[in-house]
């Protein structure tokens, strides 16, 4: 159910339409929201409000549901009821600049527009009950349940973080996942440099800060860089600071022949290509979906590095059946993973993933590594990375790989601003307020 055609458009109606699709159809929030905003006539201010409401409501879904626990006698028949209640309570508790009476009045109007029955009466009654009472939390003595509701994280994940990273670090990680993600851009070093980009961005009204993670990334104070000529002409691209480190660890040389085994949407493929010398350096980008490889090529054209890139529709677990042994100087495996390092950027992941998913993905990751390993030249470098925080997908995959391939050794990662240890480089989400990431660099002994 979506907004009737004759109903007025507002930030909250766009947010509600988006949340109905995300919560009912399990759609990705960023895709649905971007589509809704693109098709709307909202002002920039209202687009910002709609974005804040959508992401905030998804982030705090468990907390918001806890506030109305016991208030609904049965599951509402109309799809909009729960999303409207949640987004309204989110505003009441987290958006201080919006008066509560205005939030409730807007919710009543939306309920009247969307409802085919008397659901607006239920909406009004529940929101007024919530307004009259304080926001609820479980007893803090039950640490897991308390943190699960407070930070809106599934119980299994709270238990996992406490078990593996100690309680204080777990609390810091959980809290960091609900903070606003950085707007991070990476410089195309083949075309420009950081000082020139900073000067131009600041001339267009952006506030900039050089990333604390890597000097090749710039953090800007708001979105909108995709509208600049710098982005459209390929001088910059949107890429998280931590994600940029995987290619930096690969230490690509201009004449290298490189395999990017899990490439789409192509950010790291393009980062590799920027270092390669046209005509001699080359990167082969694999993915199992042809549509995603098309996106890689489109991004490569914009970034002016398409001539250095070849795409191949292929499952990385079958690489050795297509490529000959010892073919590549460098291999990057930015493996499919649970994505738990991206929770502040993709909040719905927390509700979709389970510990069993982690175990299943770890098997796939190990299979990919095992299949590409013979394709590396002696003294070549294999970098394995994930955007997740679990040991099973990171250090334990590495340990199992080395058991089967003792001819590989771990290299300590030493980059401009960050350093790894004997098991690799782990960026925790609260370290720099960037994505959570794991990277390990392996050299094949000659």
Instruction: Just list the catalytic residues.
Output: 387
- Give kind and range of the element (H or E) at residue 101: helix 100-114
Cβ neighbours, 10 Å, residue 291: 9
- Give kind and range of the element (H or E) at residue 150: helix 143-150
**Pairing mode, strands 257-260 and 328-334:** parallel
**Pairing mode, strands 309-313 and 376-386:** unpaired
100 phi and psi angles, rounded to 5 deg:
-60, -40
Residue with tokens 């939030």: 103
> What's CA 277's distance to the chain center, in Å?
31
* Cα–Cα distance, 77 to 112 (Å, whole number): 15
- Nearest to residue 286, comparing CAs of 257, 266, 314, 321? 314
Q: Omega into 156 within 30° of 0, i.e. cis?
A: no
Task: Kindly state the tokens that stand for 112.
Answer: 């009247």
Q: Which long-range contacts (CB under 8 A, 24 or more apart) does 64-68 make?
A: 64/89, 64/90, 64/93, 64/152, 66/136, 66/137, 66/138, 66/149, 67/93, 67/130, 67/135, 67/136, 68/126, 68/130
**Pairing mode, strands 425-427 and 328-334:** unpaired
**255: DSSP letter:** T
- Give kind and range of the element (H or E) at residue 432: helix 429-432
The answer to whether the beta carbons of residues 330 and 273 sit under 8 Å apart is: no
CA Rg, the chain, in Å?
Answer: 24
């Amino acid at each position: 159910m979506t907004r009737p055609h004759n109903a007025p458009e507002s930030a909250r109606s766009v947010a509600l339409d988006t949340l109905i699709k995300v919560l009912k159809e399990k759609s990705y929030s960023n895709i649905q929201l971007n589509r809704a905003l693109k098709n709307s006539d909202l002002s920039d201010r209202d687009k910002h409000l709609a974005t804040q409401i959508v992401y905030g409501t998804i982030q705090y879904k468990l907390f918001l549901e806890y506030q109305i626990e016991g208030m609904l006698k049965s599951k509402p028949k109309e799809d909009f009821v729960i999303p409207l209640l949640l987004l309204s309570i989110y505003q009441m508790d987290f958006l201080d600049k919006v008066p509560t009476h205005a939030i409730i009045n807007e919710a009543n109007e939306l309920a009247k527009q969307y409802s085919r029955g008397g659901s607006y009466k239920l909406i009004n009654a529940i929101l007024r009950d919530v307004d009259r009472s304080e926001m609820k939390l479980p007893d803090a003595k039950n640490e897991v349940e308390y943190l699960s509701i407070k930070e809106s994280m599934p119980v299994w994940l709270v238990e996992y973080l406490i078990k593996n990273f100690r309680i204080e670090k777990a609390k810091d990680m959980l809290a960091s996942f609900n903070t606003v993600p950085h707007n991070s851009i990476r410089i195309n070093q083949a075309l420009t440099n950081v000082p020139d980009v900073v000067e131009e961005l600041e001339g267009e009204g952006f506030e900039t800060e050089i990333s604390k993670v890597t000097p090749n990334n710039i953090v800007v104070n708001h979105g909108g860089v995709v509208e600049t000529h710098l982005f459209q002409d390929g001088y910059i691209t949107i890429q998280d600071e931590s994600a940029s480190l995987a290619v930096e660890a690969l230490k690509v040389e201009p004449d290298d022949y490189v395999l990017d085994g899990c490439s789409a949407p192509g950010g790291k493929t393009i980062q590799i290509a920027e270092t390669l010398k046209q005509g001699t350096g080359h990167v082969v980008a694999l993915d199992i979906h042809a549509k995603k490889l098309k996106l890689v090529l489109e991004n490569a054209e914009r970034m002016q590095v398409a001539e250095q890139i070849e795409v191949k529709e292929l499952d990385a677990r079958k690489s050795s059946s297509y490529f000959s042994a010892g073919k590549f100087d460098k291999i990057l495996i930015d493996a499919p993973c649970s994505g738990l390092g991206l929770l502040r950027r993709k909040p719905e992941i927390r509700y979709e993933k389970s510990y069993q998913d982690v175990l299943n993905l770890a098997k796939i990751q190990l299979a990919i590594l095992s299949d590409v390993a013979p394709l590396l030249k002696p003294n070549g470098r294999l970098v394995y990375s994930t955007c997740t925080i679990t040991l099973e997908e990171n250090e334990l995959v590495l340990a199992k790989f080395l058991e089967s391939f003792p001819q590989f050794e771990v290299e300590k990662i030493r980059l401009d601003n960050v350093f790894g240890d004997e098991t690799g480089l782990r960026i925790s989400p609260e370290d720099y307020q960037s994505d959570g990431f794991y990277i390990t660099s392996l050299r094949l002994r000659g």
